[in-house]
Amino acid sequence: MRRVTAVALLALSLACARHAPAPPKTYVDSKRGVQFEYPSDWSAEEVMEQNVLLLSSPVQEANWQTNIFIERRRDLDTTQPREQRLATLADNLARKKSGFALQSYKSGVPAGELTYTHTSQGVPLRERELILWLPDGRTLFVTGSAVTSLWAKYADQMSVVFDSVRPTSK
């Protein structure tokens, strides 16, 4: 009887181990002066022509591959308070993105965050954008994008990046 119990416990622990997600990878991006974690099955690729780092999920679903773009730019209007810069960004997105609808808006020091929906190439998307004001006068934009109907499936994976992004000592 003890042997059967031990075998059953071993089989159960092996089954649970197979379903545990692999620990995230750490990425130190010296070009943008940040570091973060990302899901171990995602890929990280430098897109030189756009000067962005692209993180991609391993699967394409509903004509879209869930992704996160990381871009560092000079903050063009440092005369405005950060709260106003975030509102201006939301207004600009509304003008540029088809079917734009702001879902949430958070501001704080040293970051702000927008969550919104829109349509791109006929695909309904939900996006989360973290705006991190860096000490050097630049701004880091971390933008996650997934098909609206699949957002819940990928939200936790994207949160690994959003919750861990930090400036480095660049």
Query: What confidence score (pLDDT) does residue 8 get?
Result: 52
Query: What confidence score (pLDDT) does residue 81 get?
Result: 80
Query: What confidence score (pLDDT) does residue 47 get?
Result: 94
Q: Provide long-range contacts, Cβ within 8 A and 24+ apart, for 103-109.
A: 107/82, 107/83, 109/82, 109/133
Residue with the bigger pLDDT between 74 and 91: it is 91
pTM here is 0.81
Q: Sheet of 25-29: strands edge to edge? A: 25-29, 34-38, 166-167
Question: Hey, where are the domains in the chain?
Answer: 22-167
Residue range 33-63, pLDDT digits in tens: 889 999 999 999 999 998 899 999 999 988 8
Range in 40-44, 153-157, 165-169 with the lowest mean pLDDT: 165-169
Query: What confidence score (pLDDT) does residue 38 get?
Result: 97
CATH fold for domain 22-167: Protein Transport Mog1p; Chain A (3.40.1000)
Could you give the angle at the alpha carbon of 57 between the alpha carbons of 158 and 93, nearest 5°? Answer: 60
Residue 157: pLDDT over 80: yes
Query: What confidence score (pLDDT) does residue 76 get?
Result: 61
Query: What confidence score (pLDDT) does residue 167 get?
Result: 85
Place 11 in a pLDDT band, splitting at 50, 70 and 90: low
